[in-house]
Amino acid sequence: MPITVDIDVMLAKRKMSVGELADRVGITPANLAVLKNGRAKAVRFTTLAALCEVLECQPGDLLRWEAEEGAEEGAESVAGGGERGPAPQ
């Protein structure tokens, strides 16, 4: 997945355990582990906001985008680099 979760980095910087963060955010340690290990399909903005509040950071400190290998070719056609037919009249 091109989104990488860096919660473990912020936990280390704040010298906080996963259990303590889960308690303070109000989610289960199991759900935090799913998010931390990159297995989550989504995260609610309220959860992201709570994580940022407790860790005293910005969302960009927790989430990072990385291009997938081979994704550059597909990105060109999606971005408008592909051929298009004539415009409708």
In this structure, how many other beta carbons lie within 10 angstroms of the beta carbon of residue 3? Answer: 11
Indicate the pTM of the whole model: 0.74
Reported as a single tens digit per residue, the pLDDT across 41-87 is 999 999 999 999 999 999 999 999 999 887 555 444 445 444 555 55
For the chain, give the DSSP string.
--EEE-HHHHHHHHT--HHHHHHHHTS-HHHHHHHHTT--S---HHHHHHHHHHHT--HHHHEEE-PPTTHHHHHHIIIIIS---PPP-
Residue from 1, 68, 61, 67 nearest 37 by CA: 1
